Amino acid sequence: MTNSSEDAEKNEKLGTTLFMIDKSTTKLTRRAILGAFAATAISAAPFFPGVTAYARGAGDIRRLRFYSGRTGENINLIYWIDGNYVPESMREINHFFRDWRNNQVHTIDARTVDFLSATHSILRVTEPYMLLSGYRSPQTNRMLRARSNNVAQNSLHLTGKAADIRLNSRSVAQIAQAAQSCNAGGVGRYSRSNFVHVDCGAVRNWGR
């Protein structure tokens, strides 16, 4: 699929590359998260030039901004265009969210990606998330469980369904409140360690 000149101009303003879309891979099964995006489309507009046109027209655009203090890597990419996930972007997300201790890569659940992006839009920040933990291999999970009682044996990190995040410009309480408003999964507050856990499992919350 070739981008039109109008799309290319919008894309240049966004500072990213629009990739080819494989529509055969699209699965629309995230009603709760889609509702969260619908509610935040207008608030996201100042940071996504052209997003309102996409939302009201043929579709929308979703972006993910992250950096990792563990690896020194960062991503700032569009992963959803006009109702379709961008395969190249999703693969880059999988790699970025890998277990940095052993470089094992796992598919990150698209619902978690949507959850993170929706929460970021609600918070109205341009600062990227800091990723503390994305995918966690069984070996890493066992090691962490030996060190802490807060690590679940069947953690959703093991299946690419969870992420631990931080924002310097927002408190744990603010991030958690925004995430909970999505009603899209689990939200854990870890104020002493200054991070929030989000996952696409059952809707629940814990911590303070």
Q: Give the tens place of pLDDT for each residue, 14-25.
A: 333 333 323 333
Q: Which of 129, 93, 111 shows the shortest CA–CA distance to 33?
A: 111
pLDDT one-digit tens code per residue, 38-79: 444 433 333 333 333 333 333 589 999 999 989 999 999 999
pLDDT for position 149 = 75
Question: Which strands make up the sheet holding 129-133, listed edge to edge?
Answer: 84-85, 74-81, 61-67, 129-133, 162-166, 195-199, 186-190, 204-207
Q: Is the pTM of this model over 0.85?
A: no
User: Can you give the residue range of the structural domain that contains 121?
Assistant: 5-207
Res. 80 pLDDT band, cuts 50 70 90: very high
Paired residues of 61 in beta bridges: 81
pLDDT one-digit tens code per residue, 153-206: 889 999 999 999 999 999 999 999 999 999 999 999 999 999 999 999 999 999
**What long-range pairs does 149-152 form, CB within 8 A, spacing at least 24?**
150/190
CA distances from 36 to 52, 121, 206 (A): 15, 10, 21
Ranges 2-6, 24-28, 132-136, 147-151: which has the least confidence: 24-28
State the first-to-last Cα distance of the chain, in angstroms, to the nearest integer. 47
Overall domain count for the chain = 1
